[in-house]
Amino acid sequence: MKAYSISKYSKSDKMQLVDMPEPNIGDNEVLVAIHATALNQLDNKLKEGEFKLLLPYKFPLVLGHDFAGVITRVGSKVNRFKVGDEVFARPTDFHIGTFAEYIAVNENDLALKPKNISMEEAASIPLVALTVWQAFVEKAQLKKGQKVFIQAGSGGVGTIAIQLAKHLDATVATTASANNFELLKSLGADVLIDYKTQDFETILKDYDLVLHSQDEKTLSKSLRILKRGGKVISISGPPDVAFGKELGLSWLMKMVISFLSRKVRKQAQQLGVDYAFLFMRANGKQLAAIADLIEAGVISPVIDKVFPFTAMNEAMDYVASGRAKGKVVVKI
């Protein structure tokens, strides 16, 4: 099969199109012919080595965390899926590799593709939607009437986060450039802040939740707009001690993580608010619940561009630029 591979961490090197053996499958896995994959900032960060201490991958490495496709083979113990099923997923860490024609995936990571969207649209969903689900439903338990601030509303995570928050009957504030306001209004955003000309800290007050995806300065300001007892959930760091425990990291790595997050934890404590880091994980059951919301018309994919498989590196460069509205997809 054809796949895009890297042989070392690098900011400048391009992924190489290579021939690789078709993956073998375990008893609880299926083989999927990938029809489309989506690119995420996570792929670029992995490529550049930002997570090499937390996620020590071996080389050569095929990146890619999102896909939609068709099952071509099933393992002997698979009981929820069959050959011919159209599926989508975010494969679990250390089993990624969707920048390829085929992938072996554990059935627990899979969900049936929503019937009302295309393969390209389905591929755009798993990582960002699972991130938002785990932030809002699992960690924050966002409730009707609460106020949530979603940074970078026009990005891949932001466009889904706005829709899920509105489904949960929250009031939604978000930042974006003014030329994206109409899109974000159509998704349900209530308060729109032009990050180029306005400072959200002077506009927002007594919020219950912030979904943080930006830099350290923005994180500090986000803590200050919360009411006492409010919560920041960060998907861009710094990682916290609870995350270290989740990953089962060594004592030394837990100490390093504690050191990295000490400043934000101290500020949160002084303000009487909570800080938590989220590194989303694969979860087929949650993805099936998201698929139901898509089929019900509650959540709609937002795609900026679809690239051909031959333009995988160009697609990665576009994602890295930070200019995408919604998701960037590659058709395989």
Non-local (6+) Cβ contacts of 57 within 8 A are: 46, 94
* Domain 2-125+301-331 classification at class level: alpha beta
| Pair 331, 120: CB distance under 8 Å | yes
Total number of residues shown for the chain: 332
Phi, psi of 174 (to 5 degrees): -150, 160
- Written as tens digits, the pLDDT of the chain (332 aa) is 999 999 999 999 999 999 999 999 999 999 999 999 999 999 999 999 998 888 899 999 999 999 999 999 999 999 999 999 999 999 999 999 999 999 999 999 999 999 999 999 999 999 999 999 999 999 999 999 999 999 999 999 999 999 999 999 999 999 999 999 999 999 999 999 999 999 999 999 999 999 999 999 999 999 999 999 999 999 998 998 888 888 788 888 889 888 989 999 999 999 999 999 999 999 999 999 999 999 999 999 999 999 999 999 999 999 999 889 999 999 99
DSSP string, 234-272: ESSS---HHHHHHHT--HHHHHHHHHHTHHHHHHHHHHT
Which pLDDT score, from 0 to 100, does residue 100 have?
Answer: 98
CB count in 10 Å sphere of residue 250: 10
Which pLDDT score, from 0 to 100, does residue 252 have?
Answer: 87
302: nearest Cα among 193, 162, 174:
162
| Pair 191, 172: CB distance under 8 Å | yes
CB-based burial label for 59 (10 Å; 0-12, 13-18, 19+): exposed
Find how far residue 15's CA is from the centre of its chain: 21
Which pLDDT score, from 0 to 100, does residue 248 have?
Answer: 82
- The model's pTM is 0.97
126: nearest Cα among 94, 162, 157, 83:
157
- Residue identified by tokens 């993580």 is 257
Which pLDDT score, from 0 to 100, does residue 263 have?
Answer: 96
Which pLDDT score, from 0 to 100, does residue 62 have?
Answer: 98
Which pLDDT score, from 0 to 100, does residue 54 have?
Answer: 81
What is the spatial distance between Cα 24 and Cα 311, in angstroms, rounded to a whole number?
Answer: 27
Domain-wise residue ranges, the chain:
2-125+301-331, 127-277
Non-local (6+) Cβ contacts of 262 within 8 A are: none
Phi, psi of 187 (to 5 degrees): -85, -15
Q: For the domain bounded by 127-277, which CATH number is listed?
A: 3.40.50.720
| Pair 190, 203: CB distance under 8 Å | no
| Pair 164, 146: CB distance under 8 Å | no
Half-sphere exposure of 124 (CA within 13 A, CB side): 30
What is the spatial distance between Cα 240 and Cα 257, in angstroms, rounded to a whole number?
Answer: 6
What is the spatial distance between Cα 274 and Cα 298, in angstroms, rounded to a whole number?
Answer: 29
